[in-house]
Amino acid sequence: MRFKRKKEIVLYKERNSEEIFEEKIAGAYWLRWLYSNPIGKLSLETMAKRKFMSDLFGKLMKGKKSKKKIRPFIKNFNIPVDEIDGEIEDFKTFNDFFIRKLKKSARQINDDEKVVISPGDGRLLVYPNISTYQNFRVKGFKYTFKDFLRNSEWYDQFKDGSMAILRLCPTDYHRFHFPVEGIPSPVKRMKGDYYSVSPLALRKKMEIFCRNKREFTEINSKYFGKVLMVDVGATFIGSIIQTYTPNINFQKGAEKGYFEFGGSSVVVIFEKDVVEFDKDLIKNTNQGYETLMKLGESIGKLK
């Protein structure tokens, strides 16, 4: 039986204009099949969420033949090539292009030391007070903060704090950066699955954020105290690569790492009464919209 396409749209707000746009999702047909069709769901649980599938897909995206996918991808998703640090022909594989660096002039880092910046390009939700939520909702999907952390010490420390969730689409710039200045700890890795973090998937499978692979870093910051940064893997993420050196001071906006091919998320968590998120981001989140962000833009300030 042919899988019938069901139109499910994902809406987000453009920050400056406040216009609402429909997201163009890479691989939307297959995401709907995996998370809505009975055979697709079986394939998801037995194969697609497994690390070996992400590893296999990652190898394909690193193969020489994958280079031919670059220009169609740029055309289909209107990737701004003028921002890319380098020439398109210099990328040997699709993964080389996927983990591309940007020209320094492509992103403006807010240099106010008491401002928190977006750690990357993507779609953002903010939660000013974690304790006011029994569950968090990410485009219709619930998960508990305690299940997400799986660490009683962190839970006690951050349960009354604030949290921002940045979702990176496959079409986005896929390097992530420090949202505040500070000294980062060595990464703590938590094994898990590789479900998609697309809203099309989150609407169907609620516990995804608590089951996916996650990498935790504590940042000791002069102004913001201890900040917890969580890098979350997803379907067909070949690897989460950390490029920073632990235990030395990094400036806000410095690169922390990158995701190889696939969608993914970065979560930034603050202690109680430290951060005041920007009002437009709170408004959009309360209305159920993610806000389109660029690396370096303000998401909040010191209280």
Q: How confident is the model at residue 49 (pLDDT cuts 50, 70, 90)?
A: very low
Q: Catalytic residue at 221?
A: no
Lowest-confidence pick of 41-45, 65-69, 109-113, 220-224: 41-45
Alpha-carbon radius of gyration of the chain: 18
Burial class (CB in 10 A: 0-12, 13-18, 19+), 109: middle
Q: What pLDDT score was predicted for residue 200?
A: 38
> How many domains does one find in the chain?
1
Q: What is the CATH number of the domain that holds 217?
A: 2.70.70.10
For residue 110, give the DSSP letter. Answer: P
pLDDT of residue 97: 93
pLDDT at 25 over 60: no
Q: Distances from the Cα of 284 to the Cαs of 20, 144, 279, 281, 293, in angstroms?
A: 10, 21, 9, 5, 12
Give me the DSSP letters along 153-195: HHHHHHTTSEEEEEEEPTTS--EEE-SS-BEEPPPEEE--B--
Given a cut of 60, is residue 281 above it in pLDDT?
yes
Which residue has better confidence, 124 or 234?
124
Catalytic residue selected from 121, 172, 231, 278: 121
Residue 282 pLDDT grade (very low, low, confident, very high; cuts 50, 70, 90): very high
- The residue annotated as part of the active site, out of 36, 66, 118, 264, is 264
Look up 278 and say whether it is catalytic.
no
> β-strands 122-127, 290-293: how paired?
antiparallel
pLDDT bin (cut points 50, 70, 90) of residue 174 is very high
pLDDT level of residue 260 (50, 70, 90 thresholds)? confident
Instruction: Tell me the pTM.
Output: 0.82
Q: Which of 177, 198, 231, 278 is catalytic?
A: 177
Is 118 part of the annotated catalytic residue set? no
Nearest to 61 by CA among 172, 173, 170, 215: 170
| Residue range(s) defining the domain that contains residue 244 | 1-303
Q: From CA 39, how far away is CA 230, in angstroms rounded?
A: 32
**Percent of the chain predicted with pLDDT > 90:** 53
Q: Please give the pLDDT value at position 214.
A: 85
Q: What is the pLDDT of residues 87-130, one digit of tens each?
A: 999 999 988 999 999 999 999 999 999 999 999 999 999 999 98
Answer for the pair 295, 173: CB distance below 8 angstroms, yes or no.
yes
Is the pLDDT higher at 182 or at 212?
Answer: 182
Which is more confidently placed, 119 or 26? 119
